[in-house]
Chain A
Amino acid sequence: MASRVFTRDKINVLAREIINLHPGIVALTGPLGAGKTTLIKEIARALGIRENVISPTYVLETEYRIPDTHKLFIHIDCYRMETVDELIRLGIEKRINQNNIIVIEWADKFPYFFKRYSTTYINISLGEKENERIVEII
């Protein structure tokens, strides 16, 4: 899909669009400060999650229940991980295909792992203006 420019106030539209793809795994890529966590917060909000979704960089993973469903919204950050074994040890494989939505930041650190699963890639890069981001859904 071609890349498009989004402004900060249109991020909810992008979040909706991503949810409508019914993804199992959403892998977000892009440099520090691109807005990966910000987009994930918006996806969570669009799913009805009311808790404050904060960056899981330190803790590696945070799990939320999607309201009115048995599904989980699992937010994983590979930023501090050095090997794919750390990702596997979180028990991610078991939780894929259980109708959960798994959103992963810095998934591009372990590209081969995600090739085995149907993964929606969202690449975010800085746009020309301060509040613009170039978004590519693959």
Chain B
Amino acid sequence: MKILAIETSCDETAAAVVENTSILSSVKFTQTSHAEFGGVVPSLAKRDHEVKIDEIIQKAIVNCKLKIENLDAIAVTAGPGLAIALEVGISKAKELAIKFNKPLIAVNHIEGHLLSPLASPNFQFSIFNFQKPVLGLIVSGGHTELILIEKIGKYKILAQTLDDALGEALDKAARILDMPYPGGALLEKAAALGNPKKYLLPLPMAGKENRNELSYSGLKAAFARLVSAQKKILSTQEINDLAASFQNRAFEHLIRVIKKSIEHFSLSTEYLLVGGGVIANTELRKRLGLMGNDLGIEVYFAPMELTGDNAAMIGIAASFKFTKKQFVTDFDSLDRLPRWRIDQAV
């Protein structure tokens, strides 16, 4: 079946057409879409979903050479996210579902990220016979969650951040080093040239490992203090070493919590799905891969084009809901759900 998916949960205005887990088209508003912004889109305009949504949906439809009439359903992100942003996508999806008489599917943004590895060409669908538990990890600018996939549509959060998301922590550490925000990618580049053992930073939640919680605020505070204590202009090598030291601890903490959670919940898992913007980081992919080798776990990453927020992942999650006929029965009752947890029903 073919589904039109719409995603406006935060910064991106996105639409896609998917057929099961195959992406027929996927469009995001990008800086080059509008010459009027001269290359850099101000954040206000970036999040102005209302003026861009029709054009983005139109492009997604045209790109796959279909018509809305030929599609089987309309899917939309209902949460979590920013209320006023979610509202735009939800209203548009309702409008199209009514106009073209299509079923409407409400999708959780995190479930979208979680299932985005399914779009990867090497994904083994046989893991979904669930003879062994399947784990999911979301690492993005807004979320850091370790999830047990009991079956598709039934999830349990095993661990999550108490304060900052991993992507946010990396962006802010970059800012502390005077890099422009968001500088996670610049931090990664600097870190690749630095010595991660040069500066000693605290390992978050040390001694509280049994709580299955992530925390980045203490590490960020220690890093701010370390950088401000340098009291001189930092050399490039020092910046690289500082970046490497921070990134190293941030990833070490994540992997430690994943390992502890697997142990704590006595999971005989063999599979880990990983989604979210931070997996664009090569070092993190490498470390998760090594962790997988250590534990005998196969790690499936989302394809690169689905790591940031996008609508294709919403379509993939929706395709499973379509099969189970999980449609929105009363359109008026579908409201934005800014804090919708993946373990909660709509």
Instruction: Give A contacts to B, CB under 8 Å.
Output: 31-35, 37-38, 41, 51-52, 54-55, 57-63, 79-83, 85-86, 89-91, 126, 130
Contacts and interface: CB of A to CB of B under 8 A. Distances in A.
A38 B82 contact: no
Given A37-B163, A38-B217, A52-B162, A83 B44 contact: yes
Given A61-B82, A62-B338, 9 more contacts: A33-B222, A33-B224, A35-B221, A37-B163, A54-B164, A57-B168, A63-B339, A80-B181, A83-B43
A41 B163 contact: yes
Given A33-B225, A130-B225, A58 B168 contact: yes
B220 A33 contact: yes
Contacts of B83: 61, 63
B141 interface: yes
Contacts, number: 88
A132 to B, nearest CB: 11
13 contacts: A31-B224, A32-B175, A33-B221, A37-B164, A54-B163, A55-B165, A59-B10, A60-B82, A79-B181, A81-B43, A89-B44, A90-B84, A91-B84
Contacts of B42: 82-83
Contacts of B44: 82-83, 85-86, 89
Given A37-B164, A41-B163, A63-B83, A58 B225 contact: no
Interface residues of B, number: 35
B162 A63 contact: no
A52 B10 contact: no
A121 B103 CA distance: 49
A58 B224 contact: no
B223 interface: yes
Nearest to B221: A33
Contacts of A57: 141, 164, 168, 172
B175 A54 contact: no
B82 A59 contact: yes
Given A52-B160, A55-B163, A62-B339, A126 B181 contact: no
A52 B224 CA distance: 24
Given A37-B217, A58-B142, A89 B84 contact: yes
Nearest to A82: B43
Given A32-B224, A60-B82, A126-B224, A80 B163 contact: no
A80 to B, nearest CB: 6
Interface string B123-144: 0000000000000000011100
A126 B84 contact: no
Contacts of B10: 58-60
B194 interface: no
B136 to A, nearest CB: 19
B43 A32 contact: no
B176 interface: yes
Contacts of A63: 83, 338-339
Interface in B191-242: 217, 220-225, 228
